Amino acid sequence: MAKDAKNSTTYSTTRSRTSTSRKRKSMSTLPKMAEAAQNEELKAAFEKHHGETEGQIERLEEVFALIEKKPQGKTCAAIVGITEEGAGDHDRVQGDPCPRRGLLAAAQAVEHYESALRHAAHMGRRTRSG
């Protein structure tokens, strides 16, 4: 295997392992957010997202099984920080007249971070292929 292809494969495997770790961390906070949601529509959205995230983790684990690698990777310090900050928002919503703000901000922070990483990975693939 050419050196560039091997480095690309190693990089992709490492990023996918970290993605699995991020998704697990995110998934562990979603039930707490659903519980804190006072609006039924928001609660349902968190519960739906939990199920979607669970499916994404299962697909990642299937891919790792196919390539005979373990899906466990390094803990993503950024997602730990974002979810801890979100937990602080969760604690603050108890007396907030509009508790959705804190919950939505926490959820958006996680999604925006993951979106930025997907975009960066996509740009990396385009750079290597062209």
Q: Per residue in 81-112, pLDDT tens? A: 888 887 666 566 555 656 677 888 888 888 88
The CATH number of the domain holding residue 93 is 1.20.1260.10
- 129: pLDDT strictly greater than 60: no
C-alpha 98/C-alpha 111 separation (Å) is 21
Residues 6+ apart with CB under 8 A from 101: 93
Q: How many domains does the chain have?
A: 1
Q: Which residue has the higher pLDDT, 120 or 63?
A: 63
Place of tokens 């603050």: 92
Looking at residue 126, its pLDDT comes to: 62
Q: Per residue in 29-87, pLDDT tens? A: 889 888 888 889 989 999 999 999 999 889 888 988 888 888 777 788 888 888 888 76
SS3 content of the chain, % helix, strand, coil (to 5): 85, 0, 15
C-alpha 90/C-alpha 102 separation (Å) is 7
Looking at residue 74, its pLDDT comes to: 77
Looking at residue 11, its pLDDT comes to: 55
Looking at residue 73, its pLDDT comes to: 72
Local structure of 95: helix, strand or coil: helix
Looking at residue 5, its pLDDT comes to: 44
Q: Which domain holds residue 69?
A: 3-129
Q: What is the mean pLDDT of residues 111-121?
A: 82
Q: Per residue in 14-25, pLDDT tens? A: 666 667 888 888
Q: Which residue has the higher pLDDT, 117 or 95?
A: 117
C-alpha 128/C-alpha 111 separation (Å) is 26
